Structure 1
Amino acid sequence: MTGVWQETDLLLWKPPEAWFSINAFYVPDGDGRRLRNWYVNFEHPTRRTEAGFDTFDLTVDLLIDPDLTRWEWKDEDEYAHVRRLGIVSDAEHQAVDAARAQVFGMLADRSGPFAAGNRWAVWRWEPTWPAPRLP
């Protein structure tokens, strides 16, 4: 079974060594799109494989309002459960804690993708851009 991404456009910022990605989700708005929210996904650093790229979702996420003024945790109960089961190790948990601090530092300093938060809020995909292809 294959799936097709629907409803939102996604702009993803993922430094290769980071234990998180920062995603901007856009939704239809009249004749254009608007930023619905920022979404921080805590995950393993990305690694290259023969098939492309791989990571591992660590279940806990952070939802941030488009204007960066409010945020809320998502799936903390699920994260606690995978910790109890040992799916997320103590070392991974420490990496997630460090990543949380890094993200909150970027939010407070308005750095990383948040430095240009207002510009990203009005960013538009250029329809003439070709779809990316992996070699």
Structure 2
Amino acid sequence: MGSAKQIFRPGSLITRYESHRGRDWMDHPVRVVQDSGDRFAVLLSPGSAFRFHDHDHPLGPHPWRRHPDWRGPEVLQLYRMDTPYSVWMFFDDHRFRNWYINFETPALRRLDGFETDDHGLDLIIERDGTLVWKDVEDLDAMLRSGRLVAAEVLGILSAAHTVSDEIRRGERWWSGWDDWTPALIDRTL
């Protein structure tokens, strides 16, 4: 495990680990765009290869096991330490598509990257500001399977309520990224 004071240099490749209760389940590379210590931004690019650690994982095969790599669009992922979600900015051909709140454990830094654990629940913020909940039913399935316990589900729902209220009030800690696009990557790095 790395130190919380570890700062990653813009342009460097680091590893994003999906780790459940201290056991790695999947990882893949991301490129650092910015890191201020308490907040950092990474870019997930198409073709980022997934590596799975599920041969002896208590949860069994990772749900994305059939995918060898990220097949989606470019995604800027924004993390704020001690926050139970990350904010993703999706792009199609360098053009903004939508914001996406990914509820997960707060990022924990490692020497070569960071770890988190996806909780399934997501909130899409469409270009016009419409909020669309995604994968709400996953919380129940994760509770039944033992991946989450009741206290965790209540914490996730509390975080979801808080962030959706903040968005409705126009309070977005990530608003400074509104004009960023992957086309700026060379100037950003």
**Structure 2 residue corresponding to 1:43, chosen from 104, 125, 135:** 104
Shift of the 127–97 alpha-carbon distance from structure 1 to 2, 3 Å rule, reads closer
Task: Name the SS for the 1:24 alignment partner.
Answer: strand
Residue identity over aligned pairs, in percent, reads 26
| Residue in structure 2 matched with residue 59 of structure 1 by the alignment | 120
Counterpart for residue 92 of structure 1 = 152
Number of equivalences? 123
1:123 aligns with 2:180: yes
1: distance between equivalents of 2:98 and 2:75? Answer: 10
Higher helix proportion (structure 1 or 2): 1
Match of 2:138 in 1: 78
| Contact preservation (8 Å) 2:89, 2:96 | yes
CA 35–46 in structure 1, closer or farther in 2 if over 3 Å, else same = same
Map of 1:26 onto structure 2:
91
In 2, Cα distance between the equivalents of 1:18 and 1:5? 24
Distance in 1, Cα, partners of 2:140 & 2:155: 15
| Partner AA of 1:101 in structure 2 | H
Give 5+ residue unaligned stretches, structure 1.
none
Letter in 1 for 2:181: R
**Structure-1-length-normalised TM-score:** 0.76
Q: 2:82 aligns with which of 17, 20, 28?
A: 17
Richer in strand (by share)? 2
Q: C-alpha root-mean-square deviation of aligned residues, in Å?
A: 2.5
1:41 is aligned with what amino acid?
N
